[in-house]
Amino acid sequence: MLRLLIRVNVYQQAEHCCEKAVHVNSNDFVSRYGPVALVTGASSGIGQSFAEQLAAMGLDVVLVARRESLLEELASRLRAEHGVEVTVCSADLAEVAATASILDATSGLDIGLVVSNAGYGFKGEHSAMDPAELADMVTVNCTTPMLLTRGFIPRLRARGRGGIIVTSSIEALLGCPYSTAYSSSKAFLNSLGEGLWGELTPEGIDVLTICPGATDTEALRRSGIDPATMNNVMSPDEVVTLTLDNIDNGPTLFPSDHHKAVFDQLLSIPRRDALTAMARGMKVNSVQPN
């Protein structure tokens, strides 16, 4: 078994997951999670797909990301295609103060769904990472989701309904050599999301943490991995559709059945053997950050 696992390349064996059960129809969704949804990391990838699909369901959306021009372009398209209200909130989530600015800018909006999606990572040896870039990554991946959820929970409680979606990663399940900082930050998100699920579900607030496998996004390309060299990578739209269909089926969703099976197999053997297998597979795909 170990010999087989050592040969497993997690990033080259993704396949589309099977369809999960649909728990919420469109009308119920808008009633429970509308009228406004906030999405961080909305300028591309999974975040952009969240914004598009939520707008298509009739929710007004708040778009949060650093690149204002991309947000404005997306906002114009969503207004034209779906007739919804779109608020652009340009913010650098690597700055701790950004969360307070977002909360202030949206204080007059009835936000029923918070999608904490922004995040990124680096591949390569941990000792080669730039300390400042690591600190920024931890702020975006960990500090901002923690403070953002903390800030919106009182507003969701006042409504008596709503939802929180936290975008984590399949890498949260195991410390991943050559992706050490990123996988660590995502493990934090799993604990955050699952803890919030336990606290808020009894109050009518759904919390779902999603752990995608390889997904064709700008963030994946920025980490040095070319999706074109990989087999059966999920699209952002596939990940988001499954997420929205299962928002009330928490605490955790693994969109890719294949990646979940790979990690389950790794976790079924001694930890040191699993990490040895991961190190050999991940090293092939690791790159040093520029």
Q: Which residues are marked as active site? A: 182, 186
Q: What's the token pair of residue 282?
A: 């991940």
Q: Which residues contact 83 (CB under 8 A, 6 or more apart)?
A: none
> Distance between CA 66 and CA 89 in Å, rounded?
8
Other C-beta atoms lying within 10 Å of the C-beta of residue 26: 12
Is-cis flag, bond preceding 145, omega within 30? no
Q: Which residues contact 23 (CB under 8 A, 6 or more apart)?
A: 245, 246, 247, 248, 249
> Distance between CA 54 and CA 77 in Å, rounded?
13
Q: Which residue reads 């800018």 in tokens?
A: 105
Q: Which of 202, 194, 122 is nearest to 157 (CA)?
A: 202
Q: Which residues contact 221 (CB under 8 A, 6 or more apart)?
A: 227
Q: Which residues contact 141 (CB under 8 A, 6 or more apart)?
A: 119, 120, 121, 182, 185, 186, 188, 189
Q: What's the token pair of residue 133?
A: 């870039």
What is the torsional sign of CA 254, 256, 259, 260? positive
Q: What is the dihedral of CA 53, 57, 205, 264, to 10 degrees?
A: -40
Contact in structure between 244 and 19 (CB atoms under 8 Å): no
